[in-house]
Structures are given as structure tokens and as C-alpha cells.
Amino acid sequence: MAVETDEPRCVVVLPPADNVEEYTDLFEPAVEAAEMVPERAVGASSQRDKRRLCDQINGADVVLADVRTLDPFCYFALGIAEAASRRILAVVTSRDNLPFTLEEEEVIEFERAAPKATQELIGLITEHLTADASPSPGIPARDGSPAPQGGAATGSSGISRQEAQALINAMWADGLQKKTIRRELLAAGVSPSWIELRLRALHVERRSGW
């Protein structure tokens, strides 16, 4: 049964074989640090479980999935989340492990590693979950008014938000591949989570015909 709460909810999708400690020691604290309510996804071993899983995902604000082991259940749950138009955050070892239908989603590339890497991954997940998910500053609303400005794109040592937005808009207009855009912006000191959110917003703009 889904958690009854008015607070933002994050459904965490893990391989069924993963032990409880990985959820309680890594994903649960990362979600709670983002001031969201974590809820582990149920399995899909029966039709009843599948219906419960759909209810969980439909009621979530974010679906956080660990697909580093390429587990079929995780891809199954991501397909439901994509169909339900939920915000998705996937933890992967490589973007190549995502199906093409999910290539525009937010991604954290992180190898399965020793426990000492747990705090680093917790921080990355929390950073993404708390990042401003509104459309990029360069995309106007449908009524022509300016879009919300969102969060800062870079740290104090990087380029300004306005410069980052101008750069990503120019590269997008030139038809550069997303991996090229990511590489150039990362080299300029732009936050990875900001890059993913803006690329996703630009993709939504293209699909919506704005």
C-alpha cells in the first residue's frame, strides 16, 4: 500500500535480490535528506503486485531506480514510470544501459563500489532530487511570459547561469549530440544535475512544439 502523506514522495526501485541494508543505508537517507518520503517499490511477481506497483508509481513525485545490475524488474518499473510521465532519476554504470525511450531522463553514473563510496552516492542523489526541475530559463511559457529562472547552474568557480544557458541553447540549436553538450558544459564547471534538467526541458520543448 502506498504511503499516505501530503509530502513529496519518492518511490525507490531496486533489484528484488538487493538486501534491505542497501535501501536503508543508502537510498532511504538520500531521499529523506531531500525532504521527501521514501518508499521502496513492491515486486512484480504476481498480477496483484503489478497493480500495487502501478499505484505506487502513479502516486509518486519521483521514481528513483538503481539499474546498475541491469535487473529486468527495474526496467519494467521504469517503463511504468515513463508511461505515467513521472519524474525519473536513474543510477547507472553507463548511459548505454538505458533504453532509448529513457535517454532524456536524469541520470547518475556511478559504479557499484565499496561502502566508503556510499556517502558520495547519497550526496549525488540528494543533489539531483533537490535540484530545480522547472523548465530552463531560455524556454518561454506558452503564453510568452519568461520561464522561471530556477537554481544556480554552477559553483563560484564556474561560468554564470546566464552564460551556461546561452551555451546550452546554442549547442542545442546547432544539433550537437547530448554527450557533446554534457562534455562541454562539465568542462566549463556547470553542475551535472543542472545540465540534465536543462537537457530534459529542451527535449520536452521540442516534443511539445513550443
The model's pLDDT over 26-76, given as tens digits with 9 standing for 90+, comes to 999 999 999 999 999 988 888 888 999 999 999 999 999 998 888 899 999
Model confidence at 125, in pLDDT bands (50, 70, 90)? very high
Alpha-carbon distance of 26 to 68, in angstroms, equals: 14
Query: Domain range holding 180?
Result: 134-210
How many Cβ atoms from other residues are within 10 Å of residue 126's Cβ?
18
Model confidence at 207, in pLDDT bands (50, 70, 90)? low
- Answer yes or no: do 118 and 196 share one domain: no
Alpha-carbon distance of 87 to 82, in angstroms, equals: 8
- Answer yes or no: do 102 and 152 share one domain: no
- Answer yes or no: do 65 and 113 share one domain: yes
Model confidence at 137, in pLDDT bands (50, 70, 90)? very low
Indicate the residue among 110, 130, 150 that finishes a domain. 130
- Answer yes or no: do 29 and 113 share one domain: yes
Q: pLDDT at position 189, please?
A: 81
- DSSP 8-state class, residue 96: G
Quick one: angle between helices 161-173 and 178-187, nearest 10?
150
- Answer yes or no: do 112 and 45 share one domain: yes
Indicate the residue among 81, 110, 130 that finishes a domain. 130
- Answer yes or no: do 197 and 95 share one domain: no
For residue 96, being part of any structural domain is answered with yes
Q: Among positive and negative, which fits the CA dihedral 69, 71, 75, 77?
A: negative
51-60 pLDDT, tens per residue? 999 999 999 9
Alpha-carbon distance of 201 to 61, in angstroms, equals: 17
Quick one: angle between helices 192-208 and 118-130, nearest 10?
40
- Answer yes or no: do 14 and 58 share one domain: yes
